[in-house]
Amino acid sequence: MEQVLQNLIIALRASGVRISVSESMDAMYAARLVGYENRQTLKDSLSATLAKSHREKEIFEASFNRFFSLDGFSDPETDSYRAPALEPNEEDAPLTQMLLSGDNTGLSMSMREAAQRADISGIRFFTQKNLYIQRTLQGMGLEGLDRDIRRLSKEDGASSRQKGSALKEARDLLFENVRNFVEQQFSLFAGSATREIIEKYLRNIRLSNLEQQDYHQMRAIIQRMVKRLNDLHSRRRKTSKRGWLDLKKTLRENVAYQGILFDPRWKAKKIDRPDIVALCDVSRSVEAVARFMLLFLYSLNEALARIRSFIFCSNLVEVSHVFEEYQVEEALVRLQRGFGLGIKFGGTDYGQVFQDFKKTWLDLLSNKTTVLILGDARNNYGNPQTDILGLIRERSRRLIWLNPEPPAFWGTGDSEMRRYLPSCYFVKECSTVNHLERVVDLLLRTQA
């Protein structure tokens, strides 16, 4: 039974539940304690020891039910296997005997064992299904069955012929059952492998090439990324520099103890929470990417307390409130259409945008602020106002520009990227989720 439990754990891990060795040992002890008789109790116990979040509980629920659905060997149409009611012969192969006598349990056991020997828990890709079906069939002794069928077809007599055709039918049924079983195992063990591949693909594809259908998954990826980055960076952390005595502070603190130094104080290094001002281009030239940029900003907005978001096209408007008030879908539509925001969708005018920023929001900047600009710097040959960008750079801690175009296109046509370059702390191409993540990691790592 412990082997079965091990397999369940493998299946759970494959579906994305993280289970450590100590947890699987706990599960083992728990199962020994409550016994295997009561299914519900066993399930509750394993759930308490193995699945440690709401999401994992859901996965566990599904996997457990699938794993322990001990459906016997049966005809998929009638849901039961009726033996052909023929006497097996001494010389028949074991598989033939089982099929003829209708030994459901034996067949089911033999199928599981054969699959186990074929190392079914190693299945990862749907292309491997046929291989595993073959291996399992062979493991059950298909050769013997085939030999019997051939032998019977050569023999004369009505009974042999009847037996032969019954065996052929049973053989089809056997194939059906093994295929179903392998399918089921595939969904148990390979669920996450396929998901991981898709996810990896999505992370590296250019944002502008993404399809609408991938959008949901993308949101999940971005959210996870923001959460991870946030966990890493957003908390105010005190890394105390042990060894450096803060003399002034120690004297102050210990006045209460008649100047006896009971409570030495050490110099501490504070890491600040990131403070971000984000400007996002939503003009037509970056339309495909803008959606994801906004999605990203939205997620960032949920995670970070101190972020002010702006969008621009011909002019600049603040949209922090939109992110707070609406659900993500509605917020994105509102931003891209500009409902009631006063944004003008003419040609992109970076010069005007910078002037707007200087006029109204320049006070937002301090020596702690990071300014983040998302856009392609295509200014329709207008005045680029590089000096204002320089001013923004001076007033803030850092200015980061994320450009969806690859560096080779910077400065071509109406792109002003090359002129903006000197004012930026750094400029990065940002066209895949992976780019985005790397950049944001840098962005949040605010040193003292």
Partner 1 sequence: MKHHRDQHFASIEDIQHGFEEAGYICSQQIATTLFLAYHLGKPILVEGPAGVGKTELAKTAATYLRIPLIRLQCYEGLDESKALYEWKYGKQLLYTQILKDKLNEFLEGAESLDASISRLHQYDDIFFSLHFLEPRPLLSALQREGGTVLLVDEVDKSDQEFEAFLLEILSDFQVSVPEIGTIRAISKPFVLLTSNNTREMSEALKRRCLHLFIPFPEPKLEREIIRVRVPDLSENLRGQLVSFIQQVRKLDLKKPPSISETIDWARVLVLLHASSLNPDLVRDTLNTFLKFEEDIEIVQEHLYDIAGKALREA
Whose Cβ is closer to partner 1: residue 52's or residue 147's?
A: 52
Residue 51 makes contact with partner 1 by CB under 8 A: yes
Residue 360 makes contact with partner 1 by CB under 8 A: no
Whose Cβ is closer to partner 1: residue 30's or residue 218's?
A: 30
C-beta atoms surrounding 406 within 10 Å: 10
Of 14-22, 101-109, 294-302, 404-412: span binding partner 1 (CB under 8 A): 14-22
Q: Please work out the total of residues on this chain that contact partner 1, with binding judged by CB under 8 A.
A: 29
Q: Which of 371, 431, 275, 341 is nearest to 332 (CA)?
A: 341
Distance CA(30)–CA(26), nearest Å, equals 6
**DSSP state, residue 423:** G
Residue 30 makes contact with partner 1 by CB under 8 A: yes
Query: Residue 126 has which token pair?
Result: 């749907």
C-beta atoms surrounding 14 within 10 Å: 20
Residue 63 makes contact with partner 1 by CB under 8 A: no
Of 22-30, 200-208, 292-300, 379-387: span binding partner 1 (CB under 8 A): 22-30
Q: Smallest gap, in angstroms, from Cβ of residue 7 to partner 1?
A: 21
Cα–Cα distance list, 15 to 51, 172, 195 (Å): 12, 31, 9
Measured N-to-C along each axis, helices 104-117 and 158-189 cross at an angle, to the nearest 10 degrees, of 50
Residue 23 makes contact with partner 1 by CB under 8 A: yes
Q: Smallest gap, in angstroms, from Cβ of residue 334 to partner 1?
A: 19
Sign of CA dihedral 73, 75, 77, 78: negative
Residue 235 makes contact with partner 1 by CB under 8 A: yes
At 32, which amino acid appears? Answer: R
Residue 257 makes contact with partner 1 by CB under 8 A: yes
Residue 202 makes contact with partner 1 by CB under 8 A: no
Of 18-26, 93-101, 121-129, 369-377: span binding partner 1 (CB under 8 A): 18-26
C-beta atoms surrounding 199 within 10 Å: 17
By DSSP bridging, strand 316-318 and strand 307-312 are: antiparallel
Considering only 45, 63, 415, 423, the residue that binds partner 1 (CB under 8 A) is 45
Distance CA(18)–CA(111), nearest Å, equals 29
Residue 26 makes contact with partner 1 by CB under 8 A: yes
Most distant CA atoms of the chain, gap in Å = 115
Element (H, E) at 403: strand 398-403
Residue 223 makes contact with partner 1 by CB under 8 A: no
Residue 5 makes contact with partner 1 by CB under 8 A: no
Residue 263 makes contact with partner 1 by CB under 8 A: yes
| Beta strand segments in 198-292, E | 237-245, 266-271, 275-281
Residue 204 makes contact with partner 1 by CB under 8 A: no
Distance CA(2)–CA(36), nearest Å, equals 11
DSSP 90-134: TTS-HHHHHHHHT-HHHHHHHHHHHHHHTTGGG--SGGGHHHHHH
Residue 40 makes contact with partner 1 by CB under 8 A: yes
CB 11 within 8 A of CB 67: yes
Residue 255 makes contact with partner 1 by CB under 8 A: no
Whose Cβ is closer to partner 1: residue 263's or residue 387's?
A: 263
Q: Smallest gap, in angstroms, from Cβ of residue 446 to partner 1?
A: 18
Name the 3-class secondary structure at 159. helix
Q: Smallest gap, in angstroms, from Cβ of residue 88 to partner 1?
A: 46
Residue 260 makes contact with partner 1 by CB under 8 A: yes
Q: Smallest gap, in angstroms, from Cβ of residue 11 to partner 1?
A: 19
Considering only 3, 20, 212, 213, the residue that binds partner 1 (CB under 8 A) is 20
Residues lying near partner 1 in the complex (CB under 8 A): 18, 20, 22-23, 26, 29-30, 33-34, 40-41, 44-45, 47-49, 51-54, 57, 227, 231, 235, 257-258, 260, 262-263
